[in-house]
Amino acid sequence: MRILRIVLLVSLVAALQVATSAIHPAQAASLTITPNQDVAAGSKIYVTGPPASPNASVTVNLLTVPTNQSVTITADSGGNWSAIVTVPSNTSQNTTTGYQVNATSGTTQLGTGSITVVSGFTLTVSPNPTTPNSSVTVSGTGFTTYANQTVFVQVGSQSGGVAASVSSSGTFSANVGIPGNTQNGYYAVTVTANNGATTVATSLLQVANSTASITLQPSSVTAGPSASTVVSGTGFQPNNNITINYTATAIGGGTVTPSTTAVVTSAGTFTATLPVPANVANGQWTVTAKSQNNSDTATAILNVTASTPPAITVSPALATGGTLVTISGTNFSPGPTITISATVPVAGGLNVPLSTTATAGTNGTFNAQLTVPINASSGVVTVTASQTVNNANVSATTQLSITALRATITVSVNSAKPGDTLTITGSGFTPNSTVTISSDNNWVTGTASTDGVGNFTAHPVVSSAATTAAITITARDGSGISATTVLVINAPVQPTPTPSPTPTPTPTLITSVQPSFAHAVIEHKKIKEGKHDTVTIQGEPGTTLKVRLQVLFPSGQHIKVTDSTDSTGAWSHMFLVPSNAINSHSHTAYVLLQLWNGTLSRKDFLPLTLTK
């Protein structure tokens, strides 16, 4: 019976223990939170706690009002973890019960804690993070309750702190030194009043004396579907998770952020492959490797050549002076200014630089225009479009062929007499310039002004001193552009007085008389352009005479032939009528014949009608 009572008593105690355990579960471990008192809304807190499973996902929850905040990180190979959590800036003040913070991994609760929050204050710490043996500037706003008073700012467990005067608007700024023996870690920045008796607000500062660095191999990469660079890191905290990325301009618009991750070895090193996809634009991009707890950060420069390089075209590809040329580009980076330039040779052996700017749209294209100088010389010009993207120069070139503008002048008539007023029209000259008109023997001279497209009209008078001849008229502007045409001057023949015969004792036969034409014939008095015609003359029989033939066409072209008649005085010549002999003013050509015997000469004009 005694044994039975003992067994029943033990069973009852065990049952009570089980029941008590069910009613009062084991209390979760505490989290370490810095800072955890009077945290200014909008500031950050540093949270760490008991280990999770190796490489497990850990979620830290801050249960504030009106909104919650959650951060998920990955534990290292030892299960260690830490997180930076931002207190929402709209968090309501709670300095009594505080707000709960918990950390979970899957269904396991790792720990709990709480923070109190003050609102209406802002604290800014810069730089953050910082290094030992440095200083930070702590600035505050919203401290109107302490206007015109002194507050004290301290980092971590520093005694006393740095005094700062609060302005009438509730702002202050203090420069706080960080001793050289400060260990890497996270520290509360605390602002107190009333000689340190009242804590007003707190924030977070990271001190990191990191020796972390990274290298890229290769450091210059041509973007492409399988392109990459190997990132190697040293000096990082062991067993930490690292995120490596860079943000680059994307071809076609926007940005792209290639990324990869790595785990630091126990020796503080890591290696990771970072992709350089085909849509990364030309430029120098900063690759950043950052540890999960922000204790280590290192950067390096990656030079990228786009897989589809920029290109430009010009339209028209063949231009003359005065032409407006459109330059079109593709695969340029949106945003940075594009400079389009070319150097064009002009009349007189000079060079004229041309330049304009454009900006590529979100699809990487642009259009710009340049005007070819009116006096441009013939040749091939290189057009360049360039832009600077993240300190890297990106450019594309193409060729523009230029044909010098051919100026032309025409005279309203094919022949004129001394004293006639001519109408000379010209085109293809430098716009808004002065054109000088001259001719053989200065029989036709004058000036004219061109209009905005290089045209002019002039009305010079044929000199009264002009004699019968075919003369060349030239028009030239200040840029060296010139054009010529031919005009026939048909001066009236002055009769030669016949001297009274002088009797001589013995009369002598004189054969050196003015030669005359027995006949002068054009085979076809009306002929098409591009056809042949023949001129036949009969001079003074029995004497060999010199013959000069000139055929003057309306277009300004002409034919000159010098020859001699045979012993019978006969002579003929076949000539080709040019295919472009006619101009808009006339369809008539003139055949000028001159016959001389060494002392005396005879001239004659024969008209020739031209047809298309």
**DSSP secondary structure of 124-171:** EEESSSB-SSEEEEEEEE--GGGTTSEEEEEETT-SS-EEEEPPTTS-
Query: Is the CB of residue 153 less than 8 Å from the CB of residue 138?
Result: yes
- The answer, yes or no, to whether residue 15 has pLDDT greater than 50, is no
Say yes or no: domain 213-305 is CATH 2.60.40.1930: yes
At residue 180's C-alpha, the angle toward residues 177 and 186, to 5°, is 70
For the ranges 108-117, 372-381, 505-514, the maximum mean pLDDT occurs at 108-117
> Percent of the chain, pLDDT > 90?
46
**Residue 391: pLDDT band with limits 50, 70, 90:** low
pLDDT tens digits, residue range 290-316?
Answer: 987 666 889 999 999 888 788 999 999
Position with higher pLDDT, 225 vs 117: 117
pLDDT tens digits, residue range 413-446?
Answer: 888 999 999 999 998 787 788 999 999 999 999 9
CA dihedral 527, 528, 534, 535 (to 10 degrees): 50
What fold does the segment set 519-611 form as a domain? Immunoglobulin-like (2.60.40)
Q: Give the right CATH number for 32-118 from 3.30.930.10, 2.60.40.10, 3.30.1220.10, 2.60.40.230.
A: 2.60.40.230
Longest dimension (CA), the chain: 203
Domain spanning 408-489 has what CATH number? 2.60.40.1930
Superfamily assignment of 311-403 in CATH?
Macroglobulin (MG2) domain (2.60.40.1930)
Domain spanning 122-207 has what CATH number? 2.60.40.2950
Position with higher pLDDT, 465 vs 279: 465
Average pLDDT along the chain: 85
pLDDT tens digits, residue range 89-129?
Answer: 999 999 998 999 999 999 999 999 999 999 999 999 998 88
The answer to whether 32-118 and 213-305 have equal CATH topology is: yes
CA dihedral 178, 181, 185, 191 (to 10 degrees): -30
Count how many Cα atoms sit within 13 Å of the Cα of residue 174 in the half-sphere of its side chain: 24
